[in-house]
A and B are shown apart, each in its own frame.
Chain A
Amino acid sequence: MSDGRDGFVPDLPSHQTGVGTPLGALGLDVSLTEIGPSRSLFEDAWRRFRRNKLAMFGLFLVVFLILVALFGPLFVQDPTKLSKTYLEGPTNQHPFGLDNKGGDVLARVVHGIRLSLFIGILATVLETFIGVVVGALAGWYGRYVDSVAMRFVDIMLGIPYIILAYAFITVLGRGVSAVILTLAFTAWLQTARTVRAGFIQVKQLEYIEAARALGVSGRRIMLRHILPNVLQPVVVLMAIGVGSAILSEAALSFLGVGVKPPNPSLGLMVSDAQSFLSSAPYLFFFPGIAIILTVLGFLLVGDGLRDALDVKDN
C-alpha cells in the first residue's frame, strides 16, 4: 500500500480482511482531490442579486427602458413633426398629448429616453475609462504620481459642473458632445479615487508579492492581477453613474446649458413645461416620470450590484 506519508494505512489483522466493507481511507479514494461542485463567483453574485426584489425591479426597468430606447422610435412619429393643434391633452392619436409647439409628447418622451440613455451610458463609459487609468496609475506608482493626481482631483472637485459646462460649451458649442464631456469630466473623480484605493489595498496582498516573486512584470501585475480585483466597486459606480448622469443631463438641459432644442431632451421638456403647469400638467408629468423611472432603475441596479458583490470572498 502507499507509504505511510500520505495517510495512515494500518495492517488489518488477517481474520478481518474480506469480512467488512471498508470505507474511508481504505475504501473510497477520498482525499486530497475532493472538492465540491463548481461555484464561480459570478454565479454566487447573480444568485444574490436575483434574490433582491428591488434590484430585480430596477433591472426590469432598465431593460424595459433600453428596449424603449432601441425600438420605441420605430413605433412613434417623428418628434420634430409639428401638428397644427397644440396644447392638447392625451387622446387616442396622441396618447401623451401635444406640447405647446404641436409636437407629440409621446414621441418626444421616447426619443428623450433614447437620448438620455445614450448620453448617460457614453458619459459613464468615458468617465470610467479616465477614472480607471488615473486611479490605477496613482495607486500603483504612489508617491509623486499619486500626490499630483490626487491634488488634481481635489482641485477639480472644487469646480461646480455648471462652470465646466459653460467651459465646454464655449469651446464646442451647446449640444450633446458638450454635455457628454461635461458629465464625464466631473464623474471620473469618484471612480479614480475608488480605483486608487483598491490598488493601494490590493497591492499589499500576498498574491501580489507572490507574483513579484515569480518575476511577473509590473505591467502584467497591474493589468492581470490588481485590476480584476479592483473592478467590483467600479461596476457598481458605473450603474449608479448612468443614473446620475441622466439626472445631471436633465438638470443641465433644464438650466439651459444642456442639449439644444429642438432635440428632445427630457430635461428640456420639463423646463418648457414650467409655464404650463396648471393648464397642461401632462407636459410636465410624462417627461418627469420618464426621468424618475430611468434614474431609479439604474440606481436600484447599482445598489443591488453593491449588495450582491459585497461579500468577503472566503
Chain B
Amino acid sequence: MTAVLPPVDAVVDAPITTPVMEAIDVVKDFPVTGGLFGRAIGQVHAVSGVSLHVNRSETLGIVGESGCGKSTFGRVMLRLITATSGTVKLGGRDTAEMPNKELRRRAQMVFQDPYASLNPRMTIGEVLAEPFLVHQGKKAKEVTDEVSALLTTVGLSAEHRSRYPHEFSGGQRQRIGIARALAVDPEVIVLDEPVSALDVSIQAGVVNLLEKLQDERGIAYLFIAHDLSVVRHISDRVAVMYLGKVVEIGTRNQIYDHARHPYTNALLSAVPIPDPAKEKSRRRIVLTGEVPSPIDPPSGCRFRTRCWKATDECAASEPPLVDVAGDGHSFACFHPE
C-alpha cells in the first residue's frame, strides 16, 4: 500500500497543535561486550526515557554536554538507530509502522562534519540528484533543473554541479548537505551539530540560511548542539539533556532567562560571553566531580552527584519532568532555582 502523503497545503490547514514530530518515552541502550566470549556485561544507557515534540516551522534546540545522549537521540528519531523502547511519531503516526521510504522523505538529517558527510567520489550534482533517484526514480539527467534550484537556494552556483566536495570550503559543503536534505522537501530536519565544525564567521551565514528556509518552507528543526550561544539564537524552544534524560525544557526565554534546573544554570554560567565587563563580573557555578558513566548512572536524580543542592530525597527517587506552572516550562528537580 503506498502511503498517501498530504500535500503541503494540507499541513498548513491542519491544526497547529499536532506536532510534526514527537518522541514518547524513547529509550536506547547499547550493550557493552566483554569477557572471554564477548557476552553483554552491561548496558550503556544512552537515552533513558525522553519525551518531547517539535511543531511546524519551529526549532527545538537540544543541548547538553558530551555523553548526554543528544546525538543518539537524534538518530533514534530518524530510525537510523533502532530504539530499545518508546515511540516516535511523525505527523501523529507511529514511524515504526511507516515504510522506510516515507519516513526518509518526510524527515531528513544534516550532519556535523562537512568533510565526512559528502561522498568524495560523487560530484555534488550527483549527490543532489540521488534523492530524486531514490524517491521518484528519476535519473540525474531528468532533474538538472531541480538540482540547480537546490544549489541556488542554499547560496551556491548551479555551475558547480560537476565539482567534487573537496573543491569546496567547509561552509559550502555544509550548505550542500542542507541542500541534500531539502531535496525531498521534508517536514522536519534533525540537525546534529550542523555548525560546530565551521569557523564562527561562516557559522552565521549557515544559521541565517537555516532560518530563512524555515520561514519560507515551514520546516521544523530539531537542532542538536553543545553551543548554547548558537542554540539561543536559532531556537524557539530548548530541551536540556543530562546523562540520557531531559532535565529541563521550555521556550527559549524561559530557559535562558529563567532556568529552574541547577544543571541548566551551571551550564549557562559556564558559557563565555564576548564582553570583558560581563565576563569579569559573572558568578560562575563550578560543578564538582565528573560526569558519571552512562553504564552506571546514579540512582534517583542523575545530576545529584554534582549538584550543590542534592539531598537524600534526590538519591531516593527520580524527580519527574513536570510543567509546574502550566506554561510549557518543565523541569525535573526537587529543589529548583
Chain A: which residue is nearest B157 at the CB level?
A: A33
Chain B: which residue is nearest A216 at the CB level?
A: B134
A33 proximity list for chain B (CB < 8 A): 155-157, 159-160
Across the interface, do A41 and B166 meet the contact criterion of CB distance under 8 Å? yes
B205 proximity list for chain A (CB < 8 A): 6-7, 32
Q: Report if A213-B120 is in contact (Cβ < 8 Å); known contacts: A33-B157, A35-B163, A35-B167.
A: no
Q: How far is the CA of A36 from the CA of B172 in the complex (A)?
A: 13
In chain B, residues 199-257, which have Cβ atoms closer than 8 Å to a Cβ of chain A? Answer: 205, 208, 211-212
B166 proximity list for chain A (CB < 8 A): 41, 313-314
Min CB–CB distance A170 → chain B (angstroms): 41
Verify if B334 is at the interface (C-beta below 8 Å from A).
no
Verify if B264 is at the interface (C-beta below 8 Å from A).
no
Chain B: which residue is nearest A209 at the CB level?
A: B80
Contact of B118 among A5, A207, A224, A228 (CB under 8 A): A207
B120 proximity list for chain A (CB < 8 A): 41, 207, 229, 313
Across the interface, do B116 and A213 meet the contact criterion of CB distance under 8 Å? no
Most chain A CB inside 10 Å of its own CB: which residue of B119, B167, B208:
B119
| 0/1 string, B149-189, CB within 8 A of A gives 1 | 00000011101101110111101100101001000100000
Q: How far is the CA of A216 from the CA of B131 in the complex (A)?
A: 8
Verify if B105 is at the interface (C-beta below 8 Å from A).
yes
Chain A: which residue is nearest B183 at the CB level?
A: A214
Min CB–CB distance B111 → chain A (angstroms): 5
A224 proximity list for chain B (CB < 8 A): 122
Verify if B135 is at the interface (C-beta below 8 Å from A).
yes
Q: Report if A214-B104 is in contact (Cβ < 8 Å); known contacts: A5-B208, A206-B117.
A: yes
A225 proximity list for chain B (CB < 8 A): 119, 122
Across the interface, do A215 and B105 meet the contact criterion of CB distance under 8 Å? yes
Contact of B80 among A39, A41, A213, A229 (CB under 8 A): A213
Across the interface, do B155 and A32 meet the contact criterion of CB distance under 8 Å? yes
Across the interface, do B208 and A6 meet the contact criterion of CB distance under 8 Å? yes
Q: How far is the CA of A76 from the CA of B328 in the complex (A)?
A: 92
Across the interface, do B167 and A215 meet the contact criterion of CB distance under 8 Å? no
Verify if B29 is at the interface (C-beta below 8 Å from A).
no
Verify if A205 is at the interface (C-beta below 8 Å from B).
yes
Verify if A278 is at the interface (C-beta below 8 Å from B).
no
A206 proximity list for chain B (CB < 8 A): 111-113, 116-117
Q: How far is the CA of A224 from the CA of B126 in the complex (A)?
A: 11
Across the interface, do A209 and B111 meet the contact criterion of CB distance under 8 Å? yes
| 0/1 string, B128-145, CB within 8 A of A gives 1 | 001100110000000000
In chain A, residues 5-47, which have Cβ atoms closer than 8 Å to a Cβ of chain B? Answer: 5-7, 32-33, 35-36, 38-41
Verify if B108 is at the interface (C-beta below 8 Å from A).
yes
Q: How far is the CA of A33 from the CA of B184 in the complex (A)?
A: 23
Most chain B CB inside 10 Å of its own CB: which residue of A5, A209, A213, A216:
A213
A209 proximity list for chain B (CB < 8 A): 80, 109, 111
Verify if B121 is at the interface (C-beta below 8 Å from A).
yes
Across the interface, do B167 and A39 meet the contact criterion of CB distance under 8 Å? yes
Across the interface, do A35 and B134 meet the contact criterion of CB distance under 8 Å? no
Contact of A40 among B80, B100, B131, B164 (CB under 8 A): B164
Across the interface, do B168 and A35 meet the contact criterion of CB distance under 8 Å? yes
- A interface residues with partner B (beta carbon < 8 Å): 5-7, 32-33, 35-36, 38-41, 205-207, 209-217, 220, 224-225, 228-229, 313-314
Q: Sorted from nearest, which 4 A-B pairs have the closest CB atoms? A: A215-B104, A33-B157, A206-B116, A5-B208
Supplied contacts A206-B113, A214-B131, A313-B166, 20 more A-B pairs, CB within 8 Å: A5-B212, A6-B155, A6-B208, A32-B172, A35-B163, A35-B172, A41-B120, A41-B166, A205-B116, A206-B116, A207-B117, A207-B120, A209-B80, A210-B111, A212-B80, A213-B78, A213-B108, A215-B101, A215-B131, A229-B120
